[in-house]
Structure 1
Amino acid sequence: MTDRSRADRQTPRAANHPLRVLVVSHGHPSFSLGGAEIASYNLHKGLNRIDGVGSRYLARVGHPVARHGATALLSLRQKQGEILYHADEYDHFLLSNRNTEEIERDFLRVVRDLRPDVVHFHHFIGLGLECLYAVRQALPETLIIVTFHEFLSICHHHGQMVKTGGAKLCNRASPADCNACFPDISPARFLRREHFVRGLLDVADHFVSPSRFLVERYVDWGLDASRFTVIENGLDIAEPAPPRPLPAGGRRCRFAYFGQITSFKGVDVLLDAVGRIPEAVWGEDAQLMIFGGNLERQPKPFQEKIEALIERAGPRVRFYGAYQNSEMPRLMRSIDWTIIPSIWWENSPIVIQESFFHGRPLISSNIGGMAEKITDGVDGLHFRVGSSEDLVDRMVEALTDETLWERLRARITRPIDYEECARRHLDLYNAVAAERAATRATAAVPSAAARSA
């Protein structure tokens, strides 16, 4: 794993044209407002703010967005330089696009027309790993960069590395272990999946991860550590929200959860904890504010569990529904603490960066990318993953220690913005291009023995 410096400014382009980058995303923020979509779009915007760099953005869309006739390429009045590519024939097991004909015809039409110096894949869900191979075949000299956002290449269970049938964390994938989670899929088929996925990933020149934890998992799976660089995703926020005004004698007692309401996100753990805090500690001023949706799409038993926990928590909890990313500065004005109770490893939840940008300490599970980015007792608090009892202790600490919030807030490091993120990526592109050029130059020089012969 490498951390690239700015010392080497060699660029992967000819001297007579700007660096051309094509950022490829599995979704467009206009249709799918996930962390990976926001990260890829912010990179695209940031690259276009750098002199001598031009970025285009290709995003996959699918149902319910209707395609246009016989082509997978769409025009839905997106901004200049943004392209939509319709793809629905996706094999979730192999991360594969069955419609290779449209990749060859429509996806490569864009690639060949733009002739980018760098194609940066910010995921391949819905698009298929075949897109990497298609770019390599069509433009052999183009750099291919892949950013990982979770463990989907390793884990068939939604890329979460959590065992099926419960909440037990998975520490290392193998065909036998994966078969234990999915008995109807043989170990031999999982082995074929691993070879297929890893073989197509090997087409890429370099990998990016927002966390070191995720890199370690992929290296353990078999990818080369020297082909990874850690670059945090950049934020596009103008100004931090000021601290919530407190009434005379008030305390920092407003907690918030931001995100989807799914079994992996640990909302049940959080609701259980809130219901257990003694009334004398909770008081009449404390509040848990939940900003998120999609509960109606979850399995019925999980919905019923959440509804029962909400009923027990009573007025301590208020649901505000789904939100847009642009609303975050306003929402942050009304809270003091952000809680991330996920029961899976996470990688780099954007809410961590957003909370730190706005000066809000976090309380999080003590695993994965959460534990890497939030330092216990420095800029936030950890609790044992899945333990509502331990979360109760941390929340009680937050409610009763009058100086804790200010101490943690004072030690928060503001995350990078999207322009700095783009500059770090540009340094990476230059460094990878220089390494490839040096390797080829070395291979082209005949050895002394060969010359004398």
Structure 2
Amino acid sequence: MTTLRRVEGSLMNSGLNVLNVSQNYFVRGGSDRYFLTLGDLLAEKGNLVVPFCARSEHDLPSDWARFFPVGANFESPSVIDVVRYHYSTAAKKNLAELVAGQRFDIAHLHIYYGKLTSSILGVLRDARIPTVQTVHDYKLICPVYTCNRDGNPCEACHGKEYWRALIYRCNRGSLLRSAVSMSESYVSRWLGSVAGIDRFVAVSRFFAGKMKESGIDPLKIVVVPNFVDVKRFEPRREQGRYFIYFGRIERSKGIPTLIEAFARMPEVPLVVAGEGEFLQHARALAADSSNIEFVGFKRGKELYDLVGGAVASILPSEAYENCPVSILESFAAARPAIGARIGGIPELIEHGEDGFVFERGNVDELCAYVKTIWSQRASNGMGKAARSKVEQQFSAEVHYRRIRSIYDSLLC
């Protein structure tokens, strides 16, 4: 463990040099957005934040881009890409050059596997840099990151028996893809994906429990939920005009359940914002429902305006969710949420106070809660409670204190 670098004064009030590590330096998904937003938050608080990511034509501008290595090509992989997916000599070499020329107090990892790989962990260990990882998905216990098989929750691998992914062909039904996922999981574990991390930040109590069940030391796990920059959201006071789902359009997100529910309620409008592999199927399912509108992928102010114009958001997932930011963003806009009772969703929604939770896949129950909120939309009492909750529990300021306390605990 690295010795304390600052022996006088308050650690919380002094800036740190933070190496912020993730595979993408652009927003492709929720983990990328968190990685970039956390970097901004840390910088605002007086810390030096240096990104280390795989190189891409989509990258945002960065003074540190010269250190970004080439990662595996996931779209059209070659044999060399399969090797890079397991172990990246370029990532190891470039990171070694970076830490040789710049002192770091902490390395904060996100989704680094795949394009950067666990090859970087030895570099951090040799440089005696304490490592924190925010765990955004279920990679530590599932080779395909989802804990989902054939549309149902699956924990067959138990965080160590990765060969089961090959037996069940968990990666898109492909024997070859599943073999690669299996072997990468074994290699990653061997290189230190568990032993080489000083603190794991679980974003839900649910996943913290799953990590402990898989044999990860409970003393290495801290629960810190995701956050939203509340200042970016103006709490909406006008009456909402529709319900909204925003996120990836995938079967595992419960999209068929959502569409079936609103097909039964033609008087209640639904807006679906996002893209994904299930989009065309979803459009076909909703073809006869004029109350369901697909608006494509939205971000920034355009998305926030859509959420603010809604009565409530809905997240009908049928696979394990961790700590979905979509619910927190809905709360920040003073809109309640309806979510499936699975994964970390029930930790965010206080049933009957700032939304409702329903049994996954239960169309009747979902319809009942939609009708309840629709009938009470003029008052928006749940939305006001939701906004109050996000201000008190999920703001940037609260999140920074939680993350900074983890950093400081590793520097003592």
TM range (shorter): 0.7 to 0.9
Task: Measure the CA separation in 1 of the matches of 2:28 and 2:275.
Answer: 12
| Equivalent residue, structure 1, for 2:106 | 118
Partner SS for 1:173: coil
- Pairing partner for 2:402 from 420, 424, 428: 424
For 1:181, the equivalent position in structure 2 comes to 168
Q: Which residue does the alignment assign to 1:160?
A: 146
Separation in 2 of the partners of 1:351 and 1:107? 33
Q: Paired residue for 1:131, among 120, 126, 134?
A: 120
For residue 330 of structure 1, report the CA deviation from its aligned partner: 2.1
Distance 1:104 1:26, change over 3 A: closer
What is the aligned counterpart of 1:396 among 371, 394, 406? 371
Q: Percent identity?
A: 22
Aligned residue in 2 for 1:256: 244
Task: Provide the C-alpha distance between the structure 1 equivalents of 2:178 and 2:30, rounded to a whole number of angstroms.
Answer: 32
1:341-352 paired onto structure 2 within 5 Å: 341-352=316-327
SS in 1 for 2:122: helix
- Kept in 1, the 8 Å contact 2:25–2:60? The answer is no
Does structure 1 conserve the Cα–Cα contact (< 8 Å) formed by 2:68 and 2:91?
no
- Equivalences, count: 388
Residue 350 of structure 2 aligns with an amino acid whose one-letter code is: T
Match of 2:11 in 1: none
Does the 8 A contact of 2:259 with 2:286 survive in 1? yes
TM-superposed deviation, 1:83: 6.4
AA aligned to 2:38 is L
Q: Could you tell me which residue of structure 1 aligns to residue 5 of structure 2?
A: 13
- The Cα shift of 1:105 comes to 2.4
> 2:93 matched to which residue of 1?
105
Contact 1:275 1:309 in 2 (8 A): no
Are the structure 2 counterparts of residues 326 and 221 from structure 1 closer, same or farther at C-alpha, using a change threshold of 3 Å? farther
Structure 2 Cα separation of the partners of residues 204 and 96 of structure 1: 21
Q: State yes or no: 1:46 paired with 2:51.
A: no
User: 1:143 Cα deviation (Å)?
Assistant: 0.6
SS of corresponding position for 2:389? coil
Which runs of structure 2 are paired with 1:34-433 in the superposition (5 Å)?
34-51=29-46, 53-62=47-56, 65=57, 78-80=61-63, 85-89=68-72, 97-98=85-86, 100-125=88-113, 126-137=115-126, 139=127, 141-157=128-144, 159-163=145-149, 166-174=150-158, 175=161, 177-182=164-169, 184=175, 195-199=186-190, 200-201=192-193, 202-243=195-236, 245-246=238-239, 252=240, 254-277=242-265, 279=266, 282=267, 286-294=268-276, 298=277, 302=278, 305-313=281-289, 315-401=290-376, 405-407=380-382, 409-410=384-385, 412-414=388-390, 415-433=393-411
Q: CA deviation at 1:417?
A: 3.0
Query: Residues 186 and 238 from structure 1, CA distance in 2 versus in 1: closer, same or farther, beyond 3 angstroms?
Result: closer
- Give CA deviations for 1:310-332 in whole Å, capped at 9, x if unaligned: 1121x201121111234333223
Quick one: structure 1 residues 78 and 406, their matched pair in 2 at CA, closer, same or farther if it must change by over 3 Å?
A: same
Could you say if the C-alpha distance between residues 204 and 188 of structure 1 is closer, same or farther in structure 2, counting changes exceeding 3 Å?
A: same
1:408–1:104 distance in 2 versus 1, CA, 3 Å: closer
Secondary structure at 2:366 match in 1: helix
What residue in structure 2 maps to residue 72 of structure 1? none
Distance 1:119 1:381 in 2: 38
In terms of mean alpha carbon deviation, does 372-381 or 235-244 score higher? 235-244
Aligned-partner Cα distance in 2 for 1:83–1:40 = 19
- AA at the equivalent of 2:94: D
> Offset of 1:241 from its aligned partner?
2.6
- Separation of aligned partners in 2, 1:26 and 1:408: 35
Displacement of 1:405: 3.9
Whether the 8 Å CA contact 2:54–2:71 is kept in 1: the answer is no
Q: TM-score, normalised by structure 1?
A: 0.76
d(CA) in 2 for partners of 1:54, 1:186: 39
- 2:377 & 2:328 partners in 1: Cα distance? 25
Structure 1: tracts of 5 or more residues without a match:
1-9, 67-75, 247-251, 435-453
The structural deviation recorded for 1:85 is: 1.6
Amino acid at match of 1:373: L
SS at match of 1:335: coil
Q: Distance in 1 between matches of 2:336 and 2:383?
A: 6
How far, CA to CA, are the matches of 1:94 and 1:387 in structure 2?
A: 40
RMSD in angstroms over aligned alpha carbons?
3.2
Deviation by residue 1:295-321 (Cα, 9 ceiling, x = unmatched) = xxx2xxx555323321121x2011211
Partner deviation per Cα, 1:321-365 (whole Å, 9 max, x = no partner): 111234333223311200001111111111111111111100011
Deviation at 1:401, TM superposition (A): 4.5
Distance 2:60 2:334 in 1: 37
Deviation at 1:79, TM superposition (A): 4.5
Partner residue in 2 for 1:5: none
Work out whether residues 244 and 335 of structure 1, in 8 Å CA contact, stay in contact via their aligned partners in 2: no
Secondary structure of the 1:272 match is helix
* 1:107–1:354 distance in 2 versus 1, CA, 3 Å: same
3-state DSSP of counterpart to 1:61: coil
**Runs of 5+ in structure 2 lacking a partner?**
9-13
- SS of the residue 1:290 aligns to: strand
Alpha-carbon distance change, 365 to 355 in structure 1, aligned in 2, over 3 angstroms: same
Cα distance change of structure 1 residues 379 and 84 upon mapping to structure 2, 3 Å threshold:
farther
* CA displacement 1:234-263 (0-9 Å, x = unmatched): 3234243343524xxxxx551001111112
